[in-house]
């Protein structure tokens, strides 16, 4: 039997963004905060790249959703099918309707298999995988760790891939593994990058290019994979940037994909999306408020923020949305988000560089006294072992600065 309820703040999505915001709002004194999330198991998604590189297991990044939902926050175990921003109503798959005072949209994004025809079929085989899905992250390491000869192709799209540079982690971790097991010389490694750089911070980009060259990786920029043939194990690749666009075919024995993403279809269906491809939520990139519907806010991977989507970026986005929800109601000045993002990239199985930057590519280090762009053992250890504990114990409870 369907029902209609009203809540002060409704948050769509119970991932990093949704729970961190819910916890922050509760800490700030909000008394009626609800989260709509269909999944009963919560994943610390940044750790999937370590699963894909053989340095973590799925059990280490999973928690029951009810254990990580902040105290005092109500959880609706349901899916959103549409939002009516005119009547301030969220419609759920189970038939319930929720009226809101303010709505925060942060359900994340999803792999857009249609963007690369044949890619979904390919990852169903033992020869292709991605770290952007839990099961396939496990398959990634199985595929890479058992490869002893042939060609390994790593593909990094620039079409709204969550923390796209992290797609380099499985490659560098695999390279280290292949060297240690004595098969590196028998494996040809190709890296196809759709954009024109590896990360949007000059020093980090230069460092990663040097690491790739030193480790014998052939890197092609401006490379768009237009289709995959899972049977023949072939990619069709369009290469731009030379003045004369070209198309070529490349075979593979192992294929890793950091694939294009898109927003859930209901975002565009509800009239909340920007005009670009992918149906991402339209927001003011500074205030994170929808320009036509002031009670609607967006953060995380679903939002069109003109910045690299990443889990670490939420450390700056969550306080902005929490502050601005209150500011809308009181007329106080709004806080702004400068596009801060972060990309932690391993360069070996015991070293990692950390790139922090704003939407204009300017460095924005959280620890200015230490050069975190230089790969370090300590940075790797923090990212792999300390950060997950901070995530579950502090970030999801809204304890972000």
Tell me the per-residue pLDDT of 32-65, one tens digit each, with 9 for 90 and over.
999 999 999 999 999 999 999 999 999 999 999 9
Domain that holds residue 93: 4-109+263-339+393-397
Q: Do 175 and 274 share a domain, yes or no?
A: no
Q: Are strands 4-12 and 97-105 parallel, antiparallel or unpaired?
A: parallel
Please choose, from the candidates 276, 323, 337, the residue with its C-alpha nearest in 3D space to the C-alpha of residue 302. Answer: 276
Contacts for 42 with CB less than 8 Å, ≥ 6 apart: 14, 15, 19, 62, 63, 64, 65, 67, 68
Q: Do 315 and 196 share a domain, yes or no?
A: no
Q: So what's the pLDDT on residue 262?
A: 97
Residue for token digits 């029902």? 3
pLDDT tens digits for 254-283?
Answer: 999 999 999 999 999 999 999 988 999 999
Q: Do 56 and 141 share a domain, yes or no?
A: no
Q: Do 88 and 200 share a domain, yes or no?
A: no
**What angle is formed at CA 302 by the lines to CA 77 and CA 385, rounded to 5 degrees?**
80
Q: Do 147 and 57 share a domain, yes or no?
A: no
Establish if 368 belongs to a structural domain.
no
Average pLDDT over residues 320-334: 97
Establish if 157 belongs to a structural domain.
yes
Please choose, from the candidates 51, 231, 43, 205, the residue with its C-alpha nearest in 3D space to the C-alpha of residue 130. Answer: 51
SS3 190: strand
User: Final residue of a domain: which of 221, 242, 260?
Assistant: 260
Q: Any idea what the CATH number is for the domain that residue 317 is in? A: 3.50.50.60
Above 90 in pLDDT, residue 400? no
Q: Do 202 and 140 share a domain, yes or no?
A: yes
User: Final residue of a domain: which of 260, 287, 315?
Assistant: 260
Establish if 29 belongs to a structural domain.
yes
Q: Do 123 and 85 share a domain, yes or no?
A: no
Establish if 381 belongs to a structural domain.
no
pTM: 0.95
**Domain count of the chain?**
2
| Cα–Cα dist 297/293, whole Å | 9
Establish if 72 belongs to a structural domain.
yes
DSSP symbols for 327-396: HHHHTPPPP-----EEEEEEEETTEEEEEEE-TTS-B--SSTTS-TTS-BHHHHHIIIIIHHHHHHHTGG
Establish if 380 belongs to a structural domain.
no
């Amino acid at each position: 039997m369907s029902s209609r309820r009203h809540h002060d703040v409704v948050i769509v999505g119970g991932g990093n963004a949704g729970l961190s915001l819910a916890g922050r709002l509760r800490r700030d004194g909000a008394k009626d905060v609800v989260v709509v999330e269909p999944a009963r198991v919560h994943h610390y998604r940044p750790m999937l790249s370590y699963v894909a590189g053989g340095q973590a297991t799925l059990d280490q990044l999973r928690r029951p959703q009810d254990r990580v939902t902040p105290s005092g926050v109500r959880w609706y175990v349901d899916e959103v099918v549409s939002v009516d921003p005119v009547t301030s109503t969220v419609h759920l798959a189970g038939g319930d309707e929720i009226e809101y005072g303010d709505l925060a949209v942060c359900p994340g994004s999803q792999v857009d298999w249609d963007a690369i025809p044949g890619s979904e079929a390919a990852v169903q085989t033992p020869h292709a995988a991605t770290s952007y899905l839990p099961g396939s992250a496990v398959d990634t390491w199985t595929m890479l760790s058992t490869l002893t000869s042939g060609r390994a192709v790593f593909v990094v799209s620039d079409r709204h891939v969550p923390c796209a540079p992290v797609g380099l982690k499985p490659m560098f971790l695999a390279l280290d593994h292949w060297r240690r097991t004595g098969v590196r010389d028998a494996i040809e490694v190709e890296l196809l990058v759709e954009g024109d750089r590896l990360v949007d911070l000059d020093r980090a980009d230069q460092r990663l290019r040097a690491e790739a060259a030193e480790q014998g990786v052939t890197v092609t920029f401006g490379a768009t994979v237009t289709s995959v043939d899972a049977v023949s194990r072939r990619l069709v690749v369009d290469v731009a940037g030379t003045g004369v666009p070209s198309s070529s075919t490349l075979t593979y024995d192992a294929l890793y994909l950091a694939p294009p993403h898109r927003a859930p279809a209901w975002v565009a269906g509800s009239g909340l999306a920007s005009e670009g491809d992918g149906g991402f939520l339209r927001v003011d990139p500074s205030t994170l408020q929808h320009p036509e519907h002031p009670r609607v806010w967006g953060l995380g991977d679903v939002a069109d923020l003109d910045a690299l989507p990443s889990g670490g970026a939420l450390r700056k986005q969550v306080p902005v949305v929490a502050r601005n929800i209150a500011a809308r109601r009181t007329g106080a000045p709004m806080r702004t988000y400068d596009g801060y993002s972060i990309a932690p990239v391993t360069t070996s199985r015991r070293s990692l560089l950390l790139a922090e930057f704003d939407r204009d590519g300017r460095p924005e280090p959280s620890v200015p006294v230490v050069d975190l762009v230089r790969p370090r053992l300590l940075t790797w250890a923090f990212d792999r072992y300390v950060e997950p504990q901070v995530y579950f114990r502090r970030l999801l409870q809204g304890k972000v600065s």
